[in-house]
Amino acid sequence: MKRSIDSAIFLAAFTGLLYTWSTAYYHGYLGVMGLDADMMERSFHQVIYGGLLNSFSPIFAILLLATPILFLYSNAVLPSYIDWVRGSVRAKKRVIKFRHFWFGKRNEAYVERRAKKITSNVAIFTAFVFLYIVSLVYFEHKGVIKAKAILEKHVTGKNKFTDMINVVIGDDRKFLRFLACGENNCAGIENKSNYIYYFSSSSGYSYLHQEPEIVDTSK
């Protein structure tokens, strides 16, 4: 029962992280684009899936960095340290002296141990909150960079045909650079005029599909 509760808490916490990371990224993106957040509101599934995609690269980078460090620590640094302490009385005295310097020699009362435990928990919680805020800033910055890159390509006339969409707005057909789609509305920016148009996602749009390059394997 406890294990199922722990799994549910972990799943809820991870879902919350994906939701807030995705929202931060989208907020940074919309801010640079100048798009209305209410018009471009996304569904819950869009938000979670966006957060999952955005979190792949940083999580993979952290795992890629942590794995060799932990392997080196557990298989080289820690065994060497233990052998060093076990093989020398002088080394043991140094370790004991170091522990006494940081933790003291006196026997602590229950109240002291409890106070130190609370302090440690608060410090750990503060560290997690700080890392969480840093992660939000990071994902928002990623959204800003993505939006700036798209706008730079648009302004310099480097839009690809696969980035462009045809959409009927009213009685007019518009050729727009696709920007984003929410749950009910999409947005695109027009070449030359740089007008941004909102249109219903239910009305649909068309785009030029880029044919995959066919490689002749018969040779």
What pLDDT does residue 106 have?
66
CA distance linking residue 169 with residue 175, whole number of Å: 10
The yes-or-no verdict on residue 190 having pLDDT over 60 is: yes
Q: How far apart are the first and last CA of the chain?
A: 62
Report the pLDDT averaged over residues 39-44: 94
Instruction: Summarize pLDDT for 128-172 with one digit per residue, the tens.
Output: 999 999 999 999 999 999 999 999 999 998 888 888 999 888 888
Domains of the chain listed by start with CATH number: 2-157 (no CATH), 159-219 (2.30.30)
Task: Give the pLDDT band of residue 205 (cuts 50, 70, 90).
Answer: confident
Is the pLDDT at 85 greater than 90? The verdict is no
Structure tokens at 99: 């522990």
- In DSSP terms, 173 is beta-bridged to 168
> pLDDT of 47-73, one tens digit each?
999 999 999 999 999 999 999 999 999
